[in-house]
Amino acid sequence: MKRILYAYVGTLGLAIVATGAVAKDFACLMEGSAGTMRVKDCIHTNELSETELKKMCDGLSKTAEALGATAAKITYLSSCPAGYQASCKGLFGKPITAYYYEHDPLIDLPNGCVMLGGAFK
């Protein structure tokens, strides 16, 4: 499970660093499972274009799937839904926030967030 989380965090970082376009608000809601844990995460940004966000979210899903998770159902939105358990704001010092909805336990998320320069809340 930790391996999937760190791959997810690492893939997210590569996708964000590789972009530089400014865009309007976009979000992707990813739902799936990793082992026995159900995962529901949302990435929100006004830093990436819609195309870049789609590439990033597809890449995250494929990376997790390659490590044993189920393929995520991805829904594209203008913002992430309310009701999240935790968030990681300011990834790489940019206006990018990851929202976590169904993680049990949340124990590995704070370290991954800080590793990417975000503030876990």
Give residue-wise pLDDT tens across range 9-46.
444 444 444 444 445 789 999 998 877 778 899 999 98
**If you average pLDDT over residues 50-73, what whole number do you get?**
86
Q: Judging by DSSP bridges, how do beta strands 73-77 and 86-89 pair with one another?
A: unpaired
Q: What integer pLDDT is reported at residue 15 of this predicted model? A: 46
- The residues facing 41 across adjacent strands are 30, 100
Going from N- to C-terminal start, the domains of the chain cover 2-120
Tokens 């195309």 -> residue = 51
More confident residue, 99 or 116: 99
Q: At 67, is the pLDDT very low, low, confident or very high (cuts 50, 70, 90)?
A: confident
- The residues facing 45 across adjacent strands are 26, 96
Q: How far apart, in whole angstroms, are the C-alpha atoms of residue 24 and residue 59?
A: 21
Enter the tokens of residue 91. 């990834």
